[in-house]
Amino acid sequence: MCKSKGMFVQFTVAIDGPAAAGKGTIARALADTFGMAHLDTGLLYRAVGRRALDGVPPVIAASTLRHRDIARTDLRTPDVAQAASEAAAIPEVRAALVAFQRDFARREGGAVLDGRDIGTVICPDAEVKLFVTADANTRANRRWQELSQSGVDITEAEVLASIHERDARDASRDAAPMVAAQDAIQLDTSTLTIDEAVAAAQAHVKARQGNQT
């Protein structure tokens, strides 16, 4: 969806891919460079998963999600990620989160959304679609470093197993499975530095912006 009415410009960048592939880092950098808003949609599912762990049925948790649930600082743990992935397979949970994500994607000034189904289900008309991947060992190593730095006691092998389990569930579910949109650009970050991955993503956005002026 891209409409230009005076200063009102809608431009959506959809970034999907498996766990810890670098979606968030790339999404934040693009938002920063191009002055767009950024939504980490994984946080919505993590907030639902967190509430599910607290005993709230996932469908209720999703349909009554509040800003303070998403702002919690304890959403980045492996157990919350697993609970998020389980809740994310429930169609009613996903349905409850669609309107918020689509509204966000159409906001003035453009938006970058990262997740699993942004280019396929949430924003099939996004101007730029990236499917960011990296080999599983690289992703596990990156996530293990992040978790270790934030004080989570976990081995790299446990992180790898957890990522494999989540990717398998996310890719095989019936409701909005994790899959690259047909028109998505594949970006494998396995051998790229953060700067190189960001530069590649920026080039795709610039090229698309150039086509529209």
How many residues in the chain?
A: 213
Q: Could you give the 3-state DSSP secondary structure of residue 188?
A: strand
Instruction: Please answer whether residues 146 and 3 qualify as being in contact, where contact means their C-beta atoms are separated by less than 8 angstroms.
Output: no
Q: Sketch the per residue contact string, 135 through 174, with ligand CDP: x for CB under 6 A, - otherwise.
A: -------------------------------x---x----
**Could you tell me the smallest distance in angstroms from the CB atom of residue 66 to ligand CDP?**
18
**Could you tell me the smallest distance in angstroms from the CB atom of residue 88 to ligand CDP?**
3
Give the total of residues touching ligand CDP (CB under 6 A). Answer: 15
Instruction: Give the CA distances from residue 132 to residues 52, 55, 143, in Å, rounded to whole numbers and listed in that order.
Output: 28, 33, 15
The region of 4-12, 83-91, 103-111, 182-190 touching ligand CDP under the rule CB under 6 A is 83-91
Q: Could you give the 3-state DSSP secondary structure of residue 145?
A: helix
Long-range CB pairs of 64-73, under 8 A, 24+ apart, other chains included = 65/96, 65/97, 70/43, 70/44, 72/47
**Could you tell me the smallest distance in angstroms from the CB atom of residue 106 to ligand CDP?**
17
In terms of CB distance, is 10 or 85 closer to ligand CDP? 85
In terms of CB distance, is 20 or 130 closer to ligand CDP? 20
Instruction: Report d(CA 61, CA 176) in Å as an integer.
Output: 19
In terms of CB distance, is 124 or 209 closer to ligand CDP? 124
Q: According to CB under 6 A, which one of 90, 96, 110, 115 is a site residue for ligand CDP? A: 115
**Could you tell me the smallest distance in angstroms from the CB atom of residue 147 to ligand CDP?**
10
Neighbours of 127 (CB within 10 A): 19
Instruction: Please answer whether residues 123 and 39 qualify as being in contact, where contact means their C-beta atoms are separated by less than 8 angstroms.
Output: no
Binding residues vs ligand CDP (CB under 6 A): 19-20, 41-42, 45-46, 81, 84-85, 88, 115-117, 166, 170
